Amino acid sequence: MVEAVPIKVLIGLRPNGEADHPDWAQLPLQATGGERHEDHQIVKWKYDKTSGHDEATLESPRGQQFGMMLVTQLFADQAVAMFPALVSVMTAAEAEDFWDNKAHAHLADEARNSAEISALHAEFILIRDLATEFPGNAKLQNRLSALKTLLQKALDPDDATPGVVKNKLRRWADAKLSLDVTIKP
């Protein structure tokens, strides 16, 4: 498990309209033993999808947007020291709120494999109809029972059976487990 520090970064706009985020290559860690700033970025940019550069909200006026990253303690310390007006360390609660309600709010909690679900449903209808037509056929009855169990598993987002699956990056609590990170207190 990797220990990470969540940082919030204010991203402006350059005159050409491109995002103007801090130049991480200026961090002192770049000059140490051939390390790159990317080596200290555990989870790269997660942007506020509720208020981009073109929208204006109380938290984020037009022309700026917030981003979040999970980084090493060294990266966080150096980024805050070098860019204090643009970078701040987030609490665990702030990170969870940003992840769930800003960066990933547009994502669904579940993903559906429609082709898999449709195929299982079609097979279920076919076998059910055949089992009704041939009530004494034990092989069809067994297949129907097995298929009912499979359908229940396929519709359970917490089960690994293809069909409906939980989006493990949608919610902060699940994402930390999926990404194998802990947040440094």
For residue 141, give the nearest of 119, 133, 122 by alpha carbon.
133
In this prediction, residues 132-141 reach a mean pLDDT of: 93
The per-residue pLDDT for range 66-111, each reduced to its tens digit, is 999 999 999 999 999 999 999 999 999 999 999 999 999 988 889 8
Residue 56 clears pLDDT 80, i.e. is over it = no
- What does pLDDT average to over the chain? 90
For 41, counting Cβ atoms within 10 Å of its Cβ (0-12 exposed, 13-18 middle, 19+ buried), the class is middle
Q: Which two tokens stand for residue 81?
A: 């020291």
Q: Is 180 helix (H, G, I), strand (E, B) or coil?
A: coil
Number of CB atoms found within 10 A of residue 25's CB: 9
Give me the amino acid identity at 178.
Answer: S
Please answer whether residues 98 and 50 qualify as being in contact, where contact means their C-beta atoms are separated by less than 8 angstroms.
Answer: no
Q: Which two tokens stand for residue 136?
A: 């004494």
- Percentages (nearest 5) of helix, strand, coil residues in the chain: 40, 20, 35
For 88, counting Cβ atoms within 10 Å of its Cβ (0-12 exposed, 13-18 middle, 19+ buried), the class is middle
- pLDDT interval class at 36 (50, 70, 90): confident
Q: Which two tokens stand for residue 161?
A: 């059976």
For residue 172, give the nearest of 112, 104, 107, 111 by alpha carbon.
104
- pLDDT interval class at 58 (50, 70, 90): low
